[in-house]
Amino acid sequence: MTQRLNYMQQSPELFKKMLEFSTAEQDSAIEEKILDLVHIRASQMNGCGFCLDMHVKQAKIHGEGELRLYHIAIWRESTLFAPRERAALAWTEILTKLPEHGVPDELYDRVRGQFSEKEISDLTFSVMAINAWNRINVAFKNVPGSADVAFGLTKAGLS
């Protein structure tokens, strides 16, 4: 696969703003472990190899277990995820593939049972951010693993 264009060079100011937006996630009310799950699940759903590769490596660096990484795609059937993580994954899925009639109240209530209003808001911004990154990286065919050195992902030991 060959990258179509370098969006960082073509739109440097927009890229900088998007990077700032994503970097702000580090100060969100959502714990790193859940952010990793959100990034991985949305990237799986959107077929973004670049982001999936990056976020699996980041999760590994953050101490995520390999079996849990394998189970993210089957989180509903897996016993490895806590109720809070399940709520975050369900929220990620519904916002990544918005249904015709919006987000059901039942799902919102389930998420609200695990997260405060501030956390739901922060979680929603995280889902928005990863979906934006997925879309730009899929559009321009960024090659998985091509930014490992730049982003310090070689520490994951998965290259």
Kindly report, residue by residue over 50-60, the tens digit of the pLDDT. 999 999 999 99
Tell me, what's the pLDDT at 148?
86
Closest CA to 129 of 28, 9, 58: 28
Model-level pTM? 0.93
Quote the CA–CA distance of 124 and 73 in Å, as a whole number. 20
Task: Give the pLDDT of residue 89.
Answer: 98
How high is the pLDDT of residue 56?
A: 98
Residue 159 buriedness (CB in 10 A; 0-12 / 13-18 / 19+): exposed
pLDDT of residue 91: 98
Q: Are 43 and 51 in contact (CB under 8 A)?
A: yes
Predicted local distance difference test score (pLDDT) of residue 150: 87
Domains in the chain with CATH codes: 29-156 (1.20.1290.10)
Region 52-81 average pLDDT:
97
pLDDT of residue 114: 98
Please provide the distance, in angstroms rounded to a whole number, between the alpha carbons at the two ends of the chain. Answer: 17
pLDDT of residue 3: 85
